[in-house]
Structure 1
Amino acid sequence: MKIRMIASYTMALSVAAAPALAEGTLNVLTWEGYADSSFLDQFVEESGCEVNATYVGSNDDFAPKLMGGGGVYDLITPSIDTTALMIDLDLVEPLDPSMIEGWDGIYPKFLALDGIQRDGEYYGMPYSWGAIAFMYLDKAFDEPPTSLDALWSEENSGKISLWDDKSSIYVAARRNGDMNIYNLSDEQIAAARESLIEQKPLVRKYWSTAGELVDLYKAGEVIISNTWAGYQSSLLAAEGIEVTEFIPEEGAEGWMDSWMVVKNTPNRECAYKFLNMQLSEQGQCGVANVNGYSAANAEAARSCMTDEQFEALHQDDPEYLDSLLIWAPLGDRFEAYLNAWNSVKAQ
């Protein structure tokens, strides 16, 4: 199945003629907040490298955008369940860790993950991490929800939202009691799909960006959802809207995003300057302050965070990291998960 999937992506690449990249201008395909002006402007001024950012709403966006002719990129930041696919598709090139200051400060747990390495070489530089937690509007609940059942409850009908991402299959599987969520059988995927179809009439909207979910809460259209932990809740708090994040009794996924260099970039010098910045105090506390995410370089985080922020982001709490179901490459099962989620949306 993986061979067929790679072949279809390769066919798309052969059809799309790629325009030439401008030297000295980095084009990055990334998540909201990862190229924020609060820390990017200093980099541009000091390095002389311009940066253009295009944002994704799902990990499923990376391959189509890289191969569909919609633009050419130097750097990308897929999550750990998608990095191996980028390597399989020959879209990214090996990194030279000796050129990246702070590499030795990265949590060993992240450097040990299979998804960012192949044949003794690293293809991804761990950058940030966190949980796919759940969130509810405080004033809408007399009793705080503790289970995923709240997202299937008729009482919350029309005010539920889930991320428009194949990870919704993971959510439904856990609710069904299937905890091996990255290696589900065909029957378990089908059961998760049926649970999501059952839930769909209760869903106000599947959210695709941080801003979209925030707007749904602000308008009072959604009272419970999953969330990129630390990010949307902080944006809502800034608007005076009280929400609470929680880890349900069925558990929560964990994610880790890595910077990867797109194969044959003509901007390798600027790319490595950018990687060094992102792994330094400037980039690590930059993303922590903008998105509320945890930093992959523990040494940089310790240097630039207050004690309160360091503790709040679980930088000193390995047990929290171990408690999360860290996303894993789906391998040959990727297409089965994605097709199941697309089938739910097509109902």
Structure 2
Amino acid sequence: MRNSRTLRLIAGLMCAGTAVAACGTSSTSSSSGGGQGFTPPKLEAMSQLGQPEGALNILAWPGYAENGSNDPAVDWVTPFEQATGCKVNVKTFGTSDEAVSLMKTGQYDVISASGDASLRLIAAGDVEPVNTSLVPNYADVYDFLKNKPWNSVHNTAYGVPHGWGANVLTYRTDQVSPAPTSWSVMFDPNSPFKGKVIAYDSPIYIADAALYLMKTKPELGIKNPYALDDKQFQASVDLLKQQRPLVSEYWSDYLKESQALKNGDAVVGTAWQVTVNLTQSEGAPLESTLPTEGATGWSDTWMVSAKSPHKTCAYKWMDHIISPEANAKVAEYFGEAPANPKACSLTADAKHCETYHAGDSAYASQIWYWTTPITQCIDGRTDVQCKDYGEWTRAWTEIKG
């Protein structure tokens, strides 16, 4: 039986995606091993596939499950439906908090989860372990994406790596000169772009401030932007409150960010590469960079709902989305590095994998992938408690005002 210490932590993780104001803060400062500080509900992975059930409800980041409706030339859902007989329904989300809430409805079979959602889904029992032997293309996935703290617990895989990338610094070249190389352009209170900064609308954005402080104020002792004690957390929150007057808007819909950058309401901000690509394609003078401090980012995982009635279709989808053909298409469309190296020879842009550093573990090491903050400090400290995601959510409400 799980002890009360572990149950409190699981409750904290679950609360982070629901009504946070009603949730207490976990008081644990140690864990049961595995690095994440909790023991997941006991759920079994599939032992063998059955006949495809004929339907699949997908919950995904925008751009991850395209069926040609946004662009007739962008479609890797239809070939999947034709090959498997699984009729696909896609629901997109804008933030990990939204995704966690939607998964709790039990209406979706698979989800593309970032690291700030995956542990919450695992702890709540919303997703189940994945038998990777039933996903043939998994064998080809880059090793440095497997068995990571955001997609595995106690050496048990809970999903299939899909792609990864950085939350880049983007800027309009006609209004921001010289080209920025540091996040200071967004955080310095004397930034010349006051009222023209655009930032991501999520509590996990606190990690961006923590990363900046980790490099610019080493005396704070921040070693991991997702492991913040009271002093470190308060410094990060204070920085974001200081930044607030600089920000024109916070975005969760990348299309709205693209519009703001295109019409000049914002000239510098944090963005996904897909936003940069889209805005450039529509004629705006936009570029992006990975600043000297590094960046937060994502390594996304396809996970199977524990309540799914379409699990064979779910496994077929996971294998499809990391197949060389589909993985090449989604990586190029979204603007990320593919998980499968065989995808690199199939991208329309022959230099896509070079541009996005696919397979470059040294580059990947500069990215601090979204990870669910918990009270057990994931930087290895055991003498203090860190702020959990519930605290991050409450602080984010205060920051935005």
TM-score, scaled to structure 1: 0.89
Task: Say which SS state the counterpart of residue 56 (structure 2) adopts.
Answer: strand
Alignment counterpart, residue 111 of structure 1, candidates 146, 160, 169 = 146
Alignment counterpart, residue 276 of structure 2, candidates 219, 226, 233 = 233
1:342 corresponds to 2:373: no
Between the aligned partners of 1:6 and 1:144, the Cα distance in structure 2 is 40
Distance change >3 Å, CA 244–CA 112, structure 1 → 2? same
Aligned to 1:16: none
Distance change >3 Å, CA 292–CA 24, structure 1 → 2? same
What's the offset of the Cα at 1:78? Answer: 1.1
What's the offset of the Cα at 1:45? Answer: 2.0
Task: Say which SS state the counterpart of residue 115 (structure 1) adopts.
Answer: coil
Structure 1: runs of 5+ lacking an equivalent: 13-22
Aligned to 1:155: 192
Aligned to 2:98: 61
145-154 vs 130-139, which deviates more? 145-154
1:50 corresponds to 2:57: no
Aligned to 1:15: none
Task: Say which SS state the counterpart of residue 76 (structure 2) adopts.
Answer: helix
Structure 2: runs of 5+ lacking an equivalent: 1-7, 20-52, 68-74, 376-387
1:1-347 paired onto structure 2 within 5 Å: 2-5=9-12, 8=15, 24-37=54-67, 38-67=75-104, 69=105, 72-152=107-187, 153-176=190-213, 177=217, 178-228=222-272, 230-302=273-345, 307-332=350-375, 333-345=388-400, 347=401
Between the aligned partners of 1:331 and 1:312, the Cα distance in structure 2 is 34
Task: Say which SS state the counterpart of residue 95 (structure 1) adopts.
Answer: coil
What's the offset of the Cα at 1:2? Answer: 2.5
Kept in 1, the 8 Å contact 2:176–2:268? The answer is: no
305-314 vs 267-276, which deviates more? 305-314
Aligned to 2:43: none
Distance change >3 Å, CA 106–CA 224, structure 1 → 2? same
Kept in 2, the 8 Å contact 1:131–1:252? The answer is: yes
Of Structure 1 and Structure 2, the greater helix share is in 1
258-267 vs 335-344, which deviates more? 335-344
Aligned to 2:383: none
Kept in 1, the 8 Å contact 2:327–2:343? The answer is: yes
Distance change >3 Å, CA 271–CA 304, structure 1 → 2? same
For the aligned residues, what is the CA RMSD? 2.1
Distance change >3 Å, CA 10–CA 292, structure 1 → 2? closer
Kept in 2, the 8 Å contact 1:102–1:280? The answer is: yes
Between the aligned partners of 1:262 and 1:59, the Cα distance in structure 2 is 16
Kept in 2, the 8 Å contact 1:173–1:179? The answer is: no
CA offsets 1:6-64 (integer angstroms, 9 cap, x no match): 5658998xxxxxxxxxx522111110011112111111122211111111111122222
After TM superposition, what 4+ stretches of structure 1 lie above 6 angstroms from structure 2? 9-12
What's the offset of the Cα at 1:307? Answer: 4.0
Distance change >3 Å, CA 6–CA 316, structure 1 → 2? closer
Q: Which amino acid in 2 is paired with 1:282?
A: E
Kept in 2, the 8 Å contact 1:160–1:204? The answer is: yes
CA offsets 1:290-323 (integer angstroms, 9 cap, x no match): 1111111123334556541221121242221122
